[in-house]
Amino acid sequence: MKKTYLLFCTVFFLQILYSQEPFIANAYLRNSTSLNGYWKYIVDPYENGFYNYRYEPFENLKPTGNGAFFTNAKRKDFADLVEYDFDKMDSLQVPGDWNSQKEKLYYYEGTVWYKKSFDYVKKDTKNRVFIYFGGANYETDIYLNGKKLGKHIGGFTPFQFEISHLLKEKDNFIIVKVDNKRTKEGVPTLNTDWWNYGGITRDVKLIETPETYITDYQIQLDVKNQNIISGKIKLSGTTKANTNVVLEIDELDIKQTFTTDKEGRINFKIKNNNISYWSPSNPKLYKVILRTHQDQVIDSIGFRTIEAKESTILLNGESIFLKGISIHEESPIKGGRSASIEDAIQLLEYAKSLGCNYVRLAHYPHNEHMVRMADKMGMLVWEENPVYWTIDWNNSKTYANAQNQMAEVIHRDKNRASVIIWSMANETPTSKARNKFLNQLLQFTRTKDSTRLISAALEIQEHPTLPNTKTIMDSFADAVDILSFNQYIGWYDGTPEKCATINWKINQNKPVIISEFGGGAKFGLHGIKEDRWTEEYQEFLYQENLKMLSRIEQLSGMSPWILVDFKSPRRVLPGIQDNFNRKGLISEKGEKKKAFFVLQNYYKSK
């Protein structure tokens, strides 16, 4: 009885948490009002503004009392006791992590409260208004004018709330509690090799729509027929049923009207023989317009197909080798989490100059500028769920969290031609519970998006009978479309000379992508090639690895670790690491190391 009740409570809780109406499609290009800029903040390690002294959340109390930070209380008379005042506090820039903005918050993991005031006059009184967050790490509680809008878990995907009912023309105040504490049940969990940046790390905006509006759509090339554009459109609002939606792609002479069903949905197929297919050498994007009598959305969409056939990857039916590099979401311009379009362009320009046609966005969904720019620049993309290393495999909340993050990144990026691979996880230790977790996630991903390839960064094993031979013994390798694995021969496993002695026996008849290999070097440190941390060692490691990897029959691509040195609290070697993982081909100051040119030459030859 007790058990059933508990299960009921968990399911109920998860439903509340993850059943908000999904955020609006194409928030990126819709007309909006930015709430970026300076926000007042209070650092609250004890969550004093959230719980009273009996550790009861203020939001459950009536009256709430002056202690609750989300009420933005002000002292009303001489006797009134209010022990905080947002308006007298310092400010943080949004979007941005707090760690790199304030020296005192460099290592901080906990709660910070943000506050911003704003006025807003609707264009039409009947319109609806939503507040949209591109991302905040890790758990976020959001309040408008003292009322709770909701909570979001997951540091790397968007969320929104409708605020039409609470919005005033003057003096609104939005208060956001962001908590980046790591937890054992979290996704990611306690242990990672990157900086746990906290804060409202991505754009915040207000989006105004008519009462019935275009909430979602997916428009792409038909998987089975390259002369057909197929898609789905969805309206939300009281007049969503039986409404006409016009789809226009001028350049293809397409202008068609469809009518929604009872649920406000449309499924369509349009034949067209003149489509110029999107690819790295032809990143053609079409202006696509969707229009109802009230609403209009404009997007830039590329049309391409992607398949894995035996051991080759086919882009628009033609075999392609993925010349890639792994990237963390860190700004090469000012350090910290990257958040701007300039950061995205800089990172992708680096990858271009390396000769890449592909990037692995590790180890979590990056900000939307990255995939938007990848679409424009002709860069293929691997996107990844932060199921990293050890996860609490048996915990249903952990699973729900991972699945929700997957759903949100698919929801955001399903119209991006550049995105070709959804990665489930990175370097997860095999076990029954882990296999069940990942298989469930994979099934879920396929039902959400059956048009892209699925992979995961796995690990290698010693072949059970053949000496000096590496293989993949992981049942999840049978489930994925692309077999990817990380390997560190020459760094964690021996020195670069070892590469020459290694053979590969990979039994899966699938395309193979080496999702990681690499080694550390401090830019400007020179010596003999046997001397670890020198640029020469890293250069040698790349030369030997590239020779070794070319002995893999099914090799279809790679994304070595990593484009730029990045911050990690695990990396403490003084004078060399100083909190940076030094496996970058470029230093955090933008200086190219010798190994950069080894990989560049290899890609030129491909």
Residues found near ligand GCB in the complex (CB under 6 A)? 193, 363, 426-427, 486, 516, 561, 581, 583
Which tokens in the block code for residue 595? 């190994």
In the complex, the smallest distance separating the C-beta of residue 240 from ligand GCB, rounded to whole angstroms, is 44
Q: Say which residue the tokens 């790490």 belong to.
A: 137
CB of 427 to ligand GCB, least distance (A): 5
CB of 486 to ligand GCB, least distance (A): 5
- Residue whose CB is nearest to ligand GCB in the complex, by number: 193
3-state DSSP of 158-205? CEEEECCCCCCCCCEEEEEEEECCCCCCCCCCCCCCCCCCCECCCCEE
- ω into 328 cis (within 30 of 0): no
Least distance (Å) from ligand GCB to the CB of residue 583? 5
Paired with 605 in beta bridges are: none
Nearest to 398 by CA among 173, 564, 183: 183
Q: How far is the CB of 514 from ligand GCB (least distance, A)?
A: 12
Q: Smallest Cα–Cα separation from 246: which of 212, 209, 207, 214?
A: 214
Shortest gap between Cβ of 582 and ligand GCB (angstroms)?
Answer: 9
User: Based on CB atoms, which residue is closest to ligand GCB, 86 or 138?
Assistant: 138
Query: Which residue's CB is nearer to ligand GCB, number 280 or number 557?
Result: 557
Return the half-sphere exposure (C-beta side, CA atoms, 13 A cut-off) of residue 394: 2
**Shortest CB 371 distance to ligand GCB, Å:** 21
Nearest to ligand GCB of 112, 514 (CB atom): 514
Comparison of 209 and 545: residue with beta carbon closer to ligand GCB? 545
Q: Which is nearer to ligand GCB, 304 or 583 (CB)?
A: 583
C-beta of 159 vs 561, nearer to ligand GCB:
561
From the number of C-beta atoms within 10 Å of its C-beta (0-12, 13-18, 19+), residue 291 rates as middle
* 371/385 Cα distance (integer angstroms): 15
Looking at the Cβ atoms of 275 and 489, the one nearer to ligand GCB is: 489
Helices 535-549, 594-605: crossing angle, 10 deg rounding: 20
User: What's the rounded Cα separation, in Å, for the pair 381 and 369?
Assistant: 13
Q: At its nearest, how many Å lie between ligand GCB and the CB of residue 384?
A: 10
Nearer to ligand GCB, 49 or 519 (CB): 519
Q: What CA–CA distance (Å, rounded) separates 323 from 597? A: 14
Q: Can you tell me the distance from the alpha carbon of 444 to that of 105, in angstroms, rounded to the nearest whole number?
A: 38
Q: Which is nearer to ligand GCB, 245 or 521 (CB)?
A: 521
3-state helix, strand, coil in the chain (%, to 5): 20, 30, 50
Q: How far apart are CA 385 and CA 402, in angstroms?
A: 7
Please state the closest distance from residue 323 (CB atom) to ligand GCB, in A: 20
Q: Mention every residue, 6+ apart, whose C-beta is less than 8 A from residue 17.
A: 151, 153, 400, 404
The minimum distance between CB 476 and ligand GCB, in angstroms, equals: 16
Burial of 281 (0-12, 13-18, 19+ CB in 10 A): exposed
Question: What residues contact residue 3 under an 8 Å CB cut-off, 6+ apart?
Answer: none
Between 393 and 561, whose beta carbon lies closer to ligand GCB?
561
Nearer of residues 41 and 491 to ligand GCB, judged by Cβ: 491
Least spacing, CB of residue 11 vs ligand GCB, in Å: 33
H or E element in which residue 503 lies: strand 503-504
221 contacts: CB under 8 Å, gap ≥ 6: 228, 229, 230, 275, 277, 303, 304, 305
CB of 432 to ligand GCB, least distance (A): 23
Report the residue number, 40 or 363, with the smaller CB distance to ligand GCB. Answer: 363
Which amino acid makes up residue 165? Answer: H
